[in-house]
Amino acid sequence: MDSRVELRTALEKARTATESLLAPVPDLDLVAQVSPLASPLVWDLAHIAQFEELWLLRALHGHEPIADAHAEVYEALRRERSARDEVPTLRPDAVRAYAGDVRERALHELDHVDLDAPNPLLRKGFVYGLVLQHELQHQETILQTLGLGGTSYPIRQAEPVDRAPDGPDEVRIDGGSFILGATDEPWAYDNELVPHEVEVRSFFIDRAPVTNGAFARFVDGGGYATQKFWSTAGWEWLQAESASAPLHWQSADGGWERVRFGQVEPVPPDEPVQHVSYHEAEAFARWAGKRLPTEAEWERAATWDERRGKSRFPWGREFMGYEANLGHTRFSPTPAGSYAGGQSSAGCVQLTGDVWEWTSSYFQPYPGFLSYPYAEASEIFFGEEYRVLRGGSWATDPLVARGSFRHWEHPARRHGFTGFRCVRDA
Ligand SMILES: [Fe+2]
């Protein structure tokens, strides 16, 4: 995607999706902070526009800040970092005007920009990919916030999907070396680079993500009361959080219910579990006599085939022609075993498009890492504070959900659409 027309279409499609997510929310709720973990929804829109102004107007085209026309928005965004509680409220109509203004200017520049100019920001349209992915990722953040809000939001229900042929509970992945990292991704983030050879041992991996039904057996069997299943940090988290089940679950007569976008419903047993922290995923794995995969194991299972080498998605190179459960066309994962066309070469299902999957890997740079185009993109998050999630959830856009994509999160967090699958040594 690097022609003028394709870039314009992609930008417009992304904006339409952002607007349609926010459209059902009254202005009063757009400015509310529903949780310390989430910004007000209107902030996401202001920040999406601010990022676009910074990269498409200022960095690429040398524009001056357009502060004059949107002083109120600028003031709030400028103060946002330093003194959160003193931030003036962002008015939704002012933010919408700012976002529209930035977009209009960006599209005007796109009509005239020389896409072949020798500018690293334009190489294969990189800066457009940066701005697009940023907006798409914030759509997932918006959905996380909507999920935390507790107020009713119109859930998108999609048609039932087809099923993969039945298979064993686990599949074997043969050990060997493979290429970890983005090999052929024009818009890869710096943290996916440099692709390099790594060796993994043979292992068995769950064919599908762990389901609500399986997780309920862990909960009902006393998993949250049995310290030996939990790491030291996990047990401390459990006490501090007083957690007794995944986020949004509540016990009901004879089973479990969940609150999903403000609506109470029975927990569907065959759906991949979501809203579990790293600690909960790790404890379940230990209870099951297994462990969480490393990100290298996950990427090998999801993208590598001995004969054809690396592919972008578990099912192959192309997204087109395969209707994965990506891009929030429905507001939930699909039942375990869905999507005949989505199987990996080893026979795993739902490695992308249902839940982000926790891995045991810390978010660390690959060998040869070079920060680009700014340190806040990845570099400042490296270390042992965050664990890597892989795969992409139902709320993730296909553009983002490539097999080499590394998402990172604090191990205590579970307001995202996070689940997992387990592995064991062969
Ligand atoms: Fe952002």
pLDDT, tens only, 267-312: 999 999 999 999 999 999 999 999 999 999 999 999 999 888 999 9
pLDDT, tens only, 28-78: 999 988 888 889 999 999 999 999 999 999 999 999 999 888 988 888 887
pLDDT, tens only, 332-387: 999 999 998 889 999 999 999 999 999 999 999 999 999 999 888 899 999 999 99
Other C-beta atoms within 10 Å of 236: how many? 13
Cα 48–chain centre separation = 16
Could you give the angle at the alpha carbon of 414 between the alpha carbons of 411 and 416, nearest 5°? 115
Q: Is the pLDDT of residue 398 over 80?
A: yes
Which residues are bridge partners to 206 per DSSP? 170
pLDDT, tens only, 411-420: 999 999 999 9
User: Ligand 1 centre and the CA of 407: distance in Å?
Assistant: 13
pLDDT, tens only, 108-141: 999 999 999 999 999 999 999 999 999 999 999 9
Helices 71-80 and 92-112: crossing angle, nearest 10°?
100
Q: H or E element: which one contains 93?
A: helix 92-112
User: Ligand 1 centre and the CA of 310: distance in Å?
Assistant: 29
pLDDT, tens only, 233-268: 999 999 999 999 999 999 998 899 999 999 999 999
User: Ligand 1 centre and the CA of 141: distance in Å?
Assistant: 9
Strand extents, DSSP E, 326-393: 356-362, 387-390
User: Ligand 1 centre and the CA of 39: distance in Å?
Assistant: 11
Q: Is 242 exposed, middle or buried (0-12, 13-18, 19+ CB in 10 A)?
A: exposed
- Gap between the Cα atoms of 304 and 301, Å rounded: 6
pLDDT, tens only, 140-166: 999 999 999 877 899 887 778 889 999
Q: What backbone torsions phi and psi does residue 243 show, to the nearest 5 degrees?
A: -80, 140
pLDDT, tens only, 205-235: 999 999 999 999 999 999 999 999 999 999 9
pLDDT score, position 366: 98
Reported residue count of the chain is: 426
Other C-beta atoms within 10 Å of 174: how many? 13
Q: Is 330 exposed, middle or buried (0-12, 13-18, 19+ CB in 10 A)?
A: middle
pLDDT score, position 84: 52
Residue 396 identity (one-letter amino acid): T
User: Ligand 1 centre and the CA of 115: distance in Å?
Assistant: 25
pLDDT bracket for residue 86 (50, 70, 90): low
Q: Which of 330, 275, 296 is nearest to 196 (CA)?
A: 296
Is 35 strand, coil or helix?
Answer: strand
Q: Is residue 65 within 8 Å of residue 74, measured between CB atoms?
A: yes
pLDDT score, position 243: 97
User: Ligand 1 centre and the CA of 369: distance in Å?
Assistant: 21
pTM for the model stands at: 0.95
Q: What backbone torsions phi and psi does residue 97 show, to the nearest 5 degrees?
A: -65, -40
Q: Is the pLDDT of residue 318 over 80?
A: no
Q: Is the pLDDT of residue 328 over 70?
A: yes
Could you give the angle at the alpha carbon of 155 between the alpha carbons of 275 and 250, nearest 5°? 40
Q: Which residues contact 330 (CB under 8 A, 6 or more apart)?
A: 156, 157, 158, 394
Q: What is the DSSP string of 1-30?
A: --SHHHHHHHHHHHHHHHHHHHTTS-HHHH
pLDDT bracket for residue 321 (50, 70, 90): very low
User: Ligand 1 centre and the CA of 136: distance in Å?
Assistant: 10
Other C-beta atoms within 10 Å of 413: how many? 17
Note the helical H segments in 304-354: none
pLDDT score, position 1: 64
User: Ligand 1 centre and the CA of 224: distance in Å?
Assistant: 34
User: Ligand 1 centre and the CA of 48: distance in Å?
Assistant: 7
User: Ligand 1 centre and the CA of 15: distance in Å?
Assistant: 15
Is 68 strand, coil or helix?
Answer: helix
Strand pairing report for 356-362 and 418-419? parallel
- Gap between the Cα atoms of 301 and 281, Å rounded: 19
